[in-house]
Structure 1
Amino acid sequence: MSTHMIRYTVAPDQVAHNEELLRTLFAELAELRPDGLRYEAFKLADGVSFIHLVSHDKPGHGPVPHLHALKAFHTGLHERCDQRPARTELTGFGTYHPLDA
């Protein structure tokens, strides 16, 4: 399993647009339900920084690069950002999901 964290900061006037693009991405993911993928996105308390956590069991970037909504999200991303995306590979030590029980 491969897990990555992507962190970036958008310009204040781009927050609503970024959120709408993320809603569209998650709607497409919900429709297609790609196997072996876990994708989460968070907005930080500063209101302009975002973190995505992406885990998948396929080599490379996994099953999401072909998604139309992801391509739309990437279009103009660097122009929306005050701080460009930084991808970090993560090594997991465990997961606890009490609501899954």
Structure 2
Amino acid sequence: MKRIALFCSAGMSTSLLVTKMQEAAKKKGLDVSIEAFPEVKMEKLIDDLDLVLLGPQIRYAYKRAQKLCAEKGIPVDVISSVDYGMVDGEKVLEKAMKMMEK
């Protein structure tokens, strides 16, 4: 099972997007775990993750996340503001799956 974490300021604003991503994963029959967390928990959780996505509102944390993830070989990116705003779980999931293939 692949484990995807979405980080935002408090871990709450991404919860709807997580739900939409989980629905899309279920429809596609993907074996993934998708959860949202506050950005401050990233360092504690990083060892158990396969992919890290940041909410656009914490874009400022990208360099720190990139450094943490690079040490573990974990892909990381900032979610597109448009996809985030539209709560396009399918599109964000698609991007996540492509990132994990590399």
| TM-score greater than 0.5 by the shorter chain | no
If you compute each CA radius of gyration, which structure gives the higher value, 1 or 2?
1
In the superposition, the TM-score normalised over structure 2's length comes to 0.36
Higher strand share: 1
In the superposition, the TM-score normalised over structure 1's length comes to 0.36
